[in-house]
Structure 1
Amino acid sequence: MKVPRDISGALLESLKALGLTKYEALVYIGLLRVAGATATEVHETSGVPRASVYPVLDRLIEKELVSVSHTTPKRFDAIPPDRGIENLMHRIEADAESAKLALDTIYREKGPEVRGNQELIWTIYGEENIRTRLADMFKHAEQSVAMLATWELLQGSVLEVLTSVPESVDVEIVTDCWKGEQPPRFRIRLPLSESFHEVRSAQGKPLPYERSGVFLVDNTRTLVWLGSKSEQPSALYSESAGLVQFVRRHLASVTEHMSAAGQ
């Protein structure tokens, strides 16, 4: 079957990306050009084989792209593109949400793999990917969330996803400063400038970049975020006992030095 010359391949690919088959896309485009077409006229204007026209029309009706008259013979009209594309998007979003829930259930039910003494540490690149992982950690927290992060990172990337932490979970934030009102549900530890300087001197830099932080959820999952104004951020994520213990000790060490310095 030859595609009508005035229909671009790019348009067909776009409609296929929205869930239409090639025949469905051709029939829908054909119906946009005529009003109240019969099945024979649909075949003639779209180039779709006659035997395939009715099955294609039925699917387009189901997808809310075509309406049909109750006459003899039946006549078909295309739903206007703005409504038609919106209908397709709603279907895609509903299917995506359904798939996400099903896949999340499968993911949560998987058992731990036996890897001997091997401890897995994953590297994540790009802010959106890191934020997605962090949001998932926060959302599924059950007992506690602890973090040591620069205000620049908190304000720019973390506070928005921090709202997904369940209300029953304890949240402790250690940072260099806080601008604006402090949320009452979070325990925020702010060092005085002198004491923070002492912490940094005693510890070395607890946070080596302008946009960096360490995050610990339920003492079982950790994420270390490293980034600066001039570099794409990266992060290490792990559920391994070794890295979790290291991060837990680092957080405890920093808060102890803050307390000793006058907090």
Structure 2
Amino acid sequence: MSTRDAVAALKRLGLPNYQARVFVALQELGTGTAQEISEVSEVPRSQVYGAADDLLERGLVELTESSPKRYRPVSLGAAREQLTNRLERERERAFANLAELRTATPDRPDDGSVSTLRGRQPIDDRIAELIGEAAAAVVFTAPSKQSLTEGIETALRERATQGVAVTVVTAEKALRERFAERPIRVIVMGEDNPADFAGRALMIDEGTVLLSVATDDEAVDEEAMWTAGSSIGRILAQFMQSGIESGTDRNA
């Protein structure tokens, strides 16, 4: 890793630019005066003192009382722990503040809009959340075992236990045994019906629909759209139901 990469990484961990550059310079020097640090880091000497003092407060450097003063970095293990703990505290503080600011309005009003999501984790979370809101029926299309995360499986089992009609449509025969002890209907579709497995699909109470597909983008491996309380949701639900029934008949 280059010096520039190291500085950039530390900035992503929360260190301001000058502090990151001073800390990286000290890794190269081992110990150094403000002048020596300035020459290696290209931080103005007048700014090195403030940055080094801030690093001292963070517990990332030690100060040797000499003339001139010398600074020495703590071990990388100690630095890692300090930065990790600080990030954790900042995360908790940030989300506590956001929770206070968040309005009391519903998180997802059924206003008939169509929303999009990008990324596997947000889509997994939304699927599990929508399943948890089901009142009468859930139909989830899982093209593979990987489509069914632990969170989604837990949500399906909980709704089924509470009397919601849960159906899983898949090409994986193993999923039938996976849900054998639960009141969950598993439909294993044949290879002659590939259109049903273009991606994951979810239908809730015949009005809420989520459809997702894999992408070729390494940064965003999955994209999805979903809608609730809309005419397009009801139309898509009808198409899904018709496709399931057609596929079931062909595989009977």
TM-score of the two chains, using structure 1 as the length reference: 0.62
2:173–2:188 Cα contact (<8 Å) kept: no
RMSD: 4.6
Aligned with 1:246 (options 221, 235, 249): 235
Q: Which stretch of structure 1 is more off in the superposition, 164-173 or 51-60? A: 164-173
Counterpart position of 1:3: none
1:235 partner letter: A
What is the aligned-residue identity percentage? 18
Task: Report deviation, 1:178.
Answer: 3.2
* 1:62 lines up with 2:57 in the alignment: yes
Per the alignment, residue 235 of structure 1 pairs with 224
CA distance 1:154–1:96, shift in 2 (3 Å): farther
CA distance in 1, matches of 2:188, 2:20: 65
Q: Distance in 2 between matches of 1:192 and 1:137?
A: 20
TM-score for both structures, normalised by structure 2 = 0.64
| Cα separation, partners in 2 of 1:61 and 1:166, compared to 1, 3 Å | farther
For residues 168-199 of structure 1, give each alpha carbon's deviation from its aligned partner in whole angstroms, at most 9, with x where no partner exists: 53361332453064246753323487xx89xx
| CA deviation string 1:203-261 (max 9, x = no partner) | xx6x71434342134666420234699xx764321124223333444566577779999
* CA distance, structure 1, for counterparts of residue 156 and residue 208 of structure 2: 16
> What letter matches 2:210 in structure 1?
L
Q: Write the distance in 1 (CA, Å) between the matches of 2:128 and 2:11.
A: 36
Tell me the CA shift for residue 78 of structure 1. 0.6
Report the counterpart of residue 21 of structure 1 in structure 2: 16
Runs of 5+ consecutive residues of structure 1 not aligned to the other structure: 1-6
Corresponding residue SS for 1:27: helix
Question: What residue is the counterpart of 1:214 in the other structure?
Answer: 201
Q: CA offsets per residue over residues 63-96 of structure 1, 9 Å max, x none?
A: 3312346x67776431123442453244335434
Aligned counterpart in structure 2 of residue 133 of structure 1, from 100, 123, 128: 123
Please show how residues 4-83 of structure 1 align to structure 2 within 5 Å: 8-32=3-27, 33-35=29-31, 41=33, 43-47=34-38, 48-49=43-44, 51-68=46-63, 76-83=71-78
Q: Tell me, yes or no, if the aligned pair for 1:140 and 1:165 is still in contact at 8 Å.
A: no
Distance change >3 Å, CA 210–CA 192, structure 1 → 2: closer
**C-alpha contact (below 8 Å) 2:198/2:213 kept by paired residues:** yes
Give the secondary structure class of the aligned counterpart of 2:202. Answer: strand
- Residues 1:165 and 1:105: Cα distance change in structure 2 (over 3 Å): farther
Gaps spanning 5+ residues in structure 2: where?
none
* 1:210–1:227 contact (8 Å) kept in structure 2: no
Deviations 1:110-142 (A, max 9, x none): 56999xxx84223445xxx25522323414654
Cα distance in 2 for partners of 1:63, 1:164 equals: 42
Q: Distance in 1 between matches of 2:100 and 2:148?
A: 26
Query: Residues 123 and 28 (structure 1 numbering): CA distance in 2 closer, same or farther, change over 3 Å?
Result: closer
Contact 1:138 1:162 in 2 (8 A): yes
Aligned length: 232
